[in-house]
């Protein structure tokens, strides 16, 4: 749906520095809401229609609480920031009752086994998922400048919720990262010889503030794509970061090859990072900071592994079978 209204909504989000993924997600929910209401313009709709849509997502689609909350956030943005008619704070709709799943966590032996099957081309970005607790998109969006070799740290900018944070860097990865920077530099030197090359994508107003940054080494993606592509936003030739789906496929195939029966995704490695840190004696507040959680309650879910089952209770069967 490419209406003038939706184009205006997208431009509004870009001006407010929303992440590309957020723009895509919010746009998708707004389109779904409009279609649910027989293509009526949102300005002619309001609280009642929003309530019906949110209830429909639960009754007909059985969506998870986070999915329903995502839809609500998109519509709240639409009415508050675009239409300037904020939704009621007392919306009455059916809340999703689906329970959040407990995280899948690998043992340390399973992590070792998994990495033995990861292709070399993907091993470094995947190592950062487990070694630094990064989300998938945080890993592939890293820039050269984000690696702090002196302090063994990685700086994450505009993570989930627009938050910045500093995370640990495993010293064992430093040599591989130095080599990766060298690879990026080789790509850049070749790209600069192409008269059509417009430099790497820069977020927000940085492209105006730092006019030459797009062609400087420090701003290039740490894990660049192997080929140049056209930026759909302005049709300029750029080198984007590696496609995140290639990382997902590599992890899924490695887990299958080493016959790990758990469902293993990029986020499984982040879950494992948090659990193994706690298992090694790290303070939960430290783990919270590393993960970028706003509420420590979110981090506490990882303590379930350390509790060895149901709150650490030893089964009576274990005692009689000793």
- Structure-token match 């799943």, residue found: 101
Evaluate if residue 313 carries a pLDDT over 80.
no
Active site residue 160: yes
- Structure-token match 């030459």, residue found: 212
CATH superfamily, domain 101-310, is: Intergrase catalytic core (1.10.443.10)
Measuring CA to CA, which residue among 14, 27, 137, 12 is closest to residue 84?
12
Which residue among 123, 135, 215, 236 is the active-site one? 135
Which residue among 117, 155, 267, 304 is the active-site one? 267
Active site residue 135: yes
Q: Average pLDDT over the chain, rounded to whole?
A: 90
Between CA 55 and CA 94 the distance in angstroms is 5
Evaluate if residue 247 carries a pLDDT over 90.
yes
pTM higher than the cut 0.85: no
Read off the pLDDT of each residue in 175-194 and give the average, rounded to a whole number: 97
Which residue among 141, 270, 271, 276 is the active-site one? 270
Share of the chain above pLDDT 70, in %: 92
Evaluate if residue 310 carries a pLDDT over 60.
no
Give start and end residues of each alpha helix (H) in the chain. 4-15, 20-36, 47-59, 65-77, 108-115, 120-131, 136-140, 174-192, 206-209, 244-257, 266-279, 284-291, 296-299, 303-306, 316-320
Which residue among 123, 160, 165, 304 is the active-site one? 160
Q: Is 241 helix (H, G, I), strand (E, B) or coil?
A: strand
| Matching CATH number, 4-82, of 2.40.10.10, 3.30.450.40, 1.10.150.130, 1.10.3720.10 | 1.10.150.130
Read off the pLDDT of each residue in 104-120 and give the average, rounded to a whole number: 95
Domain ranges of the chain: 4-82, 101-310
The predicted-structure confidence for 130-175, as pLDDT tens digits, reads as follows 999 999 999 999 999 999 999 999 999 988 777 899 999 999 999 9
């Amino acid at each position: 749906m490419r209406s003038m209204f939706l184009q205006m909504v997208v431009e509004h989000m870009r001006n407010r520095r929303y992440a590309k993924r957020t723009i895509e997600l919010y746009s998708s929910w707004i389109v779904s809401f409009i279609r649910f209401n027989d293509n009526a313009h949102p300005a002619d709709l309001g609280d009642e229609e929003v309530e019906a849509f949110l209830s429909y997502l639960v009754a007909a689609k059985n969506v998870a609480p986070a999915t329903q909350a995502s839809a609500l956030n998109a519509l709240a943005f639409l009415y508050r920031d675009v239409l300037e008619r904020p939704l009621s704070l007392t919306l009455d709709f059916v809340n999703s009752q689906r329970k959040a799943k407990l995280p899948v966590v690998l043992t340390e032996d399973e992590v070792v086994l998994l990495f033995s099957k990861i292709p070399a081309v993907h091993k470094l970005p995947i190592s950062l998922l487990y070694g630094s607790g990064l989300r998938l998109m945080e890993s592939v969006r890293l820039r050269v400048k984000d690696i702090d070799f002196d302090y063994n740290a990685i700086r994450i900018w505009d993570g989930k919720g627009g938050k910045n944070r500093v995370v640990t860097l495993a010293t064992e990865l430093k040599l591989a990262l130095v080599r990766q920077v060298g690879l990026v530099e080789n790509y850049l030197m070749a790209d600069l010889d192409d008269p059509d090359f417009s430099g790497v994508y820069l977020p927000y107003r940085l492209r105006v503030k730092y006019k030459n940054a797009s062609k400087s080494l420090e701003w290039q993606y740490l894990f660049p794509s192997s080929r140049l592509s056209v930026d759909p936003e302005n049709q300029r030739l750029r080198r984007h970061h590696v496609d995140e789906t290639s990382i997902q496929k590599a992890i899924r195939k490695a887990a299958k090859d080493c016959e790990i029966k758990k469902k293993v995704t990029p986020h499984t490695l982040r879950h494992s990072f948090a659990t193994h840190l706690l298992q090694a004696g790290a303070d939960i507040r430290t783990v919270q900071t590393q993960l970028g959680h706003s509420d420590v309650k979110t981090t506490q879910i990882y303590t379930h592994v350390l509790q060895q089952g149901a709150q650490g209770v030893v089964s009576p069967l274990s005692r009689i079978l000793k």
